[in-house]
Structure 1
């Protein structure tokens, strides 16, 4: 038999011995022992950082004067009928909290209030949208 293949008789002298327990160090659980061999993540959070850097955002479109005038007329129309909470579809730019840019969102709902002083549109569900970020409004 070669030196790599041992049989049980080679260990007969130690088979019945008690497992050694250190008198100075506490016993380690199996989970603690296994943790010694788990992979080490030296760059904790690096993967999330890479994913965030790769996430794409859109640039905000600056509406031209024609679009601003069209939206202004629609806001006036809605404001005159605000008591009936008119249903609209709004497309607006939502700024990204973590990166430059953002995303365009479209929501459908009923308008509760148009605050011309604060330049916001308040929906019946409580959503507040800056009128300056709206680029599309369908009645």
Structure 2
């Protein structure tokens, strides 16, 4: 089991903190009448709007399973390269995670612009999120 699964299991499956109250009998409130089932159902009605999104969420989850996340050092390297490209227009080959296909794509061309507020960079006609960039390679000039 990977580290993330172990952490989730510990956080969400560990009920040891509640052992002192687990065996206590239920006590009916003396101040409030019990809520009828219809009112209880209405309480959760706003979540019904999310009903149809299960399939979409599962599809996106499968797509992102192929994504390799960068560490801090790799992200800093990419930011240094992007800053360099702002002042030195060079041909590059950029490997980036395409959120639409769920696979890694390449774009070859010149750096065009960067929007740090939105965290996006544009090469030729392709715009991508900076954190989705896996690698930037300089191409030989011909």
TM-score (norm 1): 0.49
Higher helix proportion: 2
Larger Rg: 1
TM-score (norm 2): 0.48
